[in-house]
Amino acid sequence: MSTEESPLLTTRDGAIHETTVYNRFTSGQKRWIVFVISLAGLLPMFVQAAFVPSIPQIAKDLNSTHAVVSLSVSLSIFAAAVGTLVWAAYSSVYGRRLMYLCGMPVLCIGSCGVAMSTSLRSLLFWRFVQTFGCSGGMSLGAGVVSDIYKLEERGTGMGIFFGATLSGLAIAPLIGECFEIGAATQYWSWRNLHYSLAAWGLLEMLLIYISFPETSHPGTIGIEKVTPRRRFRIPCVNPLRSLWLLRSPNLFATTLASSLVLISDYVLLIPLAYTIGVRYGITNEAVIGACFLPNGLGNFFGSPVAGRLSDIVVRKWRARRKGVWYPEDRLRATWIGGLFMVPLSVGASGLLTAYVRGPIGLSLNLLCLFINGMGVGLCLPFPISSYNVDVVHSRSAEISAAHAATRSLIISAATTLVIPSIERIGVAWTGIIAAVLALVGQGIIFLTIRYGDRMRASVDVGFSTIEDT
């Protein structure tokens, strides 16, 4: 197994080159960097997931309806898609550290604005600002991991980072519910939640300012190529340029495949109160929030395994090819999750909810949630995200942003159909459809593995070679 002290890599031609750029930080420093960016990556998860349980209280406070207040969820998804593209694009000019330091104050201001909102219009505006400010956490974090870990270790780093951040999807709803129930005055509870997010953002900004170094490789960020006289002029960067990377068939294929796999997560989690809650007579909101935990635990435990497994696969297949690197080998690590765990868990959950009553049905459903979370962790963020970073390493944050933004838009459109589908054709058939979509996504991954070299050759967006990964 390669280590951070291993200075040499074999190229396609059998030549050897040094990888000292990845030895700038010690192993301890790298672990600290991953810890800091994981905290920053948790923020957008909490901003998204913790808001949903407070919708009834917000609607009551602002004299509105649940449906109208729920518009802020769709707006925040749009803000996240825009924000991740903006922060990633400017990180190529100013580096990762400065973008973190610029985004956190925007989050703090937006969170305070949400907490002080007295009308739906102000809530929607500040909700956009809040989500925009923290939306760079995932794409910038993926870029940082690609900056500090070399090819054979990158999957493990991605696994730890995404595992920590995705656990927020399960923990945040529970905290939101407990915040609602345990607050002394219900009127102030949801407002205090957003003040807490502002405080978290402030502490994160101080932590980054004090202890987070710039990780971009020397000579790769745009500001280093600008004369000192012009450095204070803010360049006009087109944030949509990242999306142009998806004209590559293989990058678009992995984005579409990951979206189809992740839909299963939302099919299980979004209607939880209407499926498991109603079927098994769970009326306590905190208990419903706790039902999100198995899925998050599955993500948490599956992610590091997926990252390490993808690194093992890369090393194994490179050895088989006598040192030749074939980027799509990393995608082979998705088979267990994509072919078995994800489709079987979401399909089984639908059937269990429809036909199995009592504690046995509830227990098996919670098991399905755990297996689904672990399966998604084995497929989605690690082999696929690491693959995207591998093949376009010089624009790692941008491809991560384009991938996340496009995936968010696809999922936001798909999730609007979840509850209507359950009402029209039932929870069992909705789960079966989600399982089929996950299998289709895995089929796309298979085609990408099989024809990856041809797909990359058809549209070259500046793909990396072993020399610059």
Residue 230 CB neighbour total at 10 angstroms? 9
The tokens for 335 are 């088979």
Distance, in Å, from the CA atom of 270 to the CA atom of 238, rounded to the nearest integer, reads: 34
CA angle centred on 41, ends 36 and 47, rounded to 5°: 130
Mean pLDDT by 10 residues, the chain (469 residues): 38 44 86 90 80 72 72 79 87 88 94 90 91 88 86 76 70 58 48 88 94 84 60 67 89 92 86 82 74 80 77 86 87 89 94 91 93 85 78 81 85 80 91 95 94 90 73
The structural domains of the chain, with segments of one domain joined by +, span: 11-216+242-468
Total residue count of the chain as it appears in this document: 469
Q: What is the pLDDT, as a whole number, of residue 9?
A: 40
Distance, in Å, from the CA atom of 386 to the CA atom of 194, rounded to the nearest integer, reads: 33
Asked if 137 and 200 touch (Cβ cutoff 8 Å), the reply is: no
Name the pTM for this structure. Answer: 0.76
Burial code (b: 16+ CB inside 10 Å, e: under 16) for 328-352 equals bbbbbbbbbbbbebbbbbbbbbbbb
What superfamily does domain 11-216+242-468 belong to in CATH?
A: MFS general substrate transporter like domains (1.20.1250.20)
- DSSP-assigned beta bridge partners for residue 457: none
Q: What is the pLDDT, as a whole number, of residue 436?
A: 96
Distance, in Å, from the CA atom of 152 to the CA atom of 135, rounded to the nearest integer, reads: 28
Torsion of CA 70, 75, 80, 81, to 10 degrees: 130
Q: What is the pLDDT, as a whole number, of residue 3?
A: 39
